[in-house]
Amino acid sequence: MGRGKVQLKRIENKINRQVTFSKRRNGLLKKAHEISVLCDAEVAVIVFSPKGKLYEYATDSSMDKILERYERYSYAEKALISAESESEGNWCHEYRKLKAKIETIQKCHKHLMGEDLDSLNLKELQQLEQQLESSLKHIRSRKSHLMMESISELQKKERSLQEENKALQKEVIKLWWRGRRRRPAGSSSSNNNNRCSGSTKPRPIPKTNPKPRPAHHLPVS
């Protein structure tokens, strides 16, 4: 059977306590020396006896250098922990602020949509009504502005189309006059003759019925 764990407690006998302290102190310093040699570690051990006597061990570097290094490391670690804690606190504060803003915006949006109005008193309802009226004024103003811009744009397009139509009419007239000028001189007279000959038809010759000549009566012999 294995040995059970021995409960550590203060040794009441003063002599036994002093003997145990001496043995354990020497063992602790020996272990510190071993770990410094085997692992190439810087080790410092400080022990005060029950009577206040100092016992210490340090590796090749002096105790002061090790303690100075410990203070620098301890200070840097404390500063880092403090900075992390402060940063975490700032983030938590910002998170709470943003969360409150989001909740306020969501509540205002519901009120503007006509929802969750039971929580508002008369003054808050009047303020909401004024806010809605102001918003409607801005909406109507913006709508009127856009409509006027649309009408103005349509009028510009209409004027542009009218100008294009006038230009096309002028171009057609120019082409017509150019065509008349390029016709040969005889073509007009021949056309006139053709028109005259074609328009004047020969007069029909009236049919005359010859009158019957009177019969001559021969004398009867």
* pLDDT tens-digit readout, 87-123: 667 778 788 888 888 888 888 888 888 888 888 888 8
**Does pLDDT of 164 surpass 50?**
yes
Residue 214: inside a domain, yes or no? no
Residue 39: inside a domain, yes or no? yes
Listed range (17-26, 76-85, 148-157, 200-209) with the worst mean pLDDT:
200-209
HEC string of 85-148 equals HHHHHHHHHHHHHHHHHHHHHHHHHHHHCCCCCCCCCHHHHHHHHHHHHHHHHHHHHHHHHHHH
Percent of the chain exceeding pLDDT 70 equals 76
- Please name the residue that has the structure tokens 């570097």: 61
The pLDDT of 53-73, averaged and rounded, is: 83
pTM higher than the cut 0.85: no
Residue 49: inside a domain, yes or no? yes
Question: What's the structural domain count of the chain?
Answer: 1
**Does pLDDT of 67 surpass 70?**
yes
Count of C-beta atoms within a 10 Å radius of residue 44 = 19
Residue 53: inside a domain, yes or no? yes
Q: What is the pLDDT, as a whole number, of residue 99?
A: 86
**Does pLDDT of 83 surpass 60?**
yes
Residue 126: inside a domain, yes or no? no
The pLDDT of 3-10, averaged and rounded, is: 76
Residue 27: inside a domain, yes or no? yes
Residue 43: inside a domain, yes or no? yes
CA 151 to chain centre: 32
**Does pLDDT of 85 surpass 50?**
yes
Q: What is the pLDDT, as a whole number, of residue 218?
A: 44
Listed range (2-6, 88-92, 151-155) with the worst mean pLDDT:
2-6
Residue 22: inside a domain, yes or no? yes
| CATH number of the domain encompassing residue 78 | 3.40.1810.10
Contact 17, 50 (CB under 8 A): yes
Domain span including residue 69 = 14-85
124-152: burial string, b at 16+ Cβ within 10 Å, e else: eeeebeeeeeeeeeeeeeeeeeeeeeeee
Residues whose CB falls within 8 Å of the CB of residue 191, separated by 6 or more in sequence, listed in order:
none
CA distance 208 to 56: 173
Angle at 148 between CA 145 and CA 151, to 5 degrees: 150
